[in-house]
Amino acid sequence: MTDLSNLLAATTLGAVPLRSRVVMAPMTRSRATADNRPTELTATYYAQRAGAGLIIAEATAVSPQGVGYPNIPGLWRDDQVEGWRTVVDAVHAAGGRIAAQLFHVGRVSLPAYQPDGALPVAPSAIAPAGVTLYAPDFSQHAAPVPQPLDEAGIARVVADFAAAATRARAAGFDAVEIHGASGYLLDQFLRDGSNARTDRFGGTVERRARLLLDVTEAVARAIGADRTGVRLSPENPFNDMRDGDPRTTFSTAAALLRDFELAWLHVVRGPTASVVEAIREAYRSPLLLNGGFTAESAERAIRDDLARAVSFGTPFIANPDLVERFAQGAPLAAADPATFYGGDARGYTDYPTLALAGA
């Protein structure tokens, strides 16, 4: 059996102790209520996966303006805090650790989600080409041209992230991850393909990174840098994202983030190895890597000091006991993509563990 002693070893990310370096990556599952509250089923789902060294929960909107998908959770109201407390308590009771991932979708939204039916917001009036979005009733629509945020709107976004982080800690989350990836608002500001501004939030990499840095500073001040992580995806084209020089853009952003002494920087690797290498050199540690890893390649990444830990997404959907399967060298079950988003317990909480599968 393959030696996975590094992957399965305990570690810490900031103030958060991990029983192993196998992290559950955040994955939208669209099982919250229509008014953006997690449910008892959500609690069951995450508690089943509490064997992960750390769970990073699904992307959670920091405000009504930040919503762009049906049935996703939020953290701007007291009842949402209570809903998440049920989830966190269930994970802690099962011996796990869990972080909230906070995001604002920016231009990847529809007026149907926005307060007063307004246009979604973005750094610039550039629509994501070819992107189809789901309305609250799951009908499909082309993404509209967004309205650029003014500085007052930007300040509100920063305040919304800090307030949501405070609510996350009130709900009992062990940490918070700031979602700066996947073509959402902070990523839209950072990349030159979606940011055409000429003010202090546009132009140079340092200026395009300003919103990410302002949000990170506000969240770290609210809950502590040692309980704050950031996620980046330098080469992910999802949501029509482009950048003329991702190596320079993201290594510069990583160097600027290093000064915060965060709990982790979570990087989704792409096809160009030099991009992640440049980020690692700029940020150093602790780095959390994601992107098509197997147990064996994750072990090598940790052994070779490329990452402190590795996150897995889809494998955790069909394998709630993924860490145990890795430890035993057991085969992995395959997930059903038809049940990834929306629906009920089917394809969500009904995947058996090894013990149940063999019963």
Q: How many residues does the chain have?
A: 359
Q: Which of 184, 283, 341, 348 is catalytic?
A: 184
How far apart are alpha carbons 172 and 98 in whole angstroms?
A: 9
Rounded to 5 degrees, what are φ and ψ at 231?
-115, 135
CA gap 30, 73 in Å, rounded: 8
φ, ψ at 86 (rounded to 5°)? -60, -40
d(CA 63, CA 80): 11
Residue 45 annotated as catalytic: no
* Residue 169 burial (CB count, 10 A): 17
Contact criterion met (CB below 8 Å) for 75 and 63:
no
Distances (CA, A) of 192 to 98, 212, 234, 240, 312: 33, 14, 12, 12, 29
Residues classed as catalytic: 184
